[in-house]
Amino acid sequence: MRRLLAVVALLFAVSPAPARAQIGDEVLPPVFVETLLELPDDAAQAAKSGKRLLLYFGQAGCPYCKKLLQTSFTQKAILDKVTKHFLPIAFDLFGAREVTWFDGKVRSEKEFARFLKVQATPTLLLLDEKGSIIARINGFYPPPRFSAALDYSAQRLEGKLSFAEHMKEQGGKPDPRK
């Protein structure tokens, strides 16, 4: 029995740690998941759990990305909301990994960002179960505003009011780019 326990302990000691999502050298918070980047499959898996996709676009050296990750993605209430309602996947604005969109086309991360009209970082896209973009979060939002933005998708409000209207109701100005 001791020998078996020693073997199991050795296996744990030499096993690589699970891969963590990262952009450049920056390791992202553990709430982000690594997938095969086949978004129709990811959306179907998320939907089985009552979740939606949250696509995060960042880039190495982006100060606003860092600020978003170090403020909003360290708040317990936001992490709980993201974990409960979303499957968050990170993309590098200039990355080369292959991504499959709902149209079946495979694009590099860089081409994918261009296809989705992501022009700056951070940008987060909230998708419904069919892959339609229901909200676009451009730039850094402080935690209360970011949480309110997540609520739009988490509460499935897209059929009731626009994202801009929702954000205005939450006490903030709507994003002029949306």
Q: Write the DSSP string, 1-63.
A: -HHHHHHHHHHHHHSPPPP--EETTEEPPTTS-----BHHHHHHHHHHTT-EEEEEEE-TT-H
Q: State residue 178's pLDDT score.
A: 41
Number of domain units in the chain: 1
Does residue 29 lie within any of the structural domains? yes
Does residue 26 lie within any of the structural domains? yes
The domain of 156 spans 18-169
Q: State residue 118's pLDDT score.
A: 97
Does residue 157 lie within any of the structural domains? yes
How would you classify the pairing of strands 52-58 and 26-27? unpaired
Does residue 1 lie within any of the structural domains? no
Does residue 119 lie within any of the structural domains? yes
- Residue-by-residue pLDDT tens, the chain, 178 positions: 555 434 334 344 333 344 567 787 777 899 999 999 999 999 999 999 999 999 999 999 999 999 999 999 999 999 999 999 999 999 999 999 999 999 999 999 999 999 999 999 999 999 999 999 999 999 999 999 999 999 999 999 999 999 999 999 997 554 444 4
Beta bridge partners of 90: 56
Does residue 8 lie within any of the structural domains? no
Does residue 120 lie within any of the structural domains? yes
What CATH number did the domain enclosing 158 receive? 3.40.30.10
Q: What is the pTM of this model?
A: 0.85
Task: Decide: helix, strand or coil at residue 68.
Answer: helix
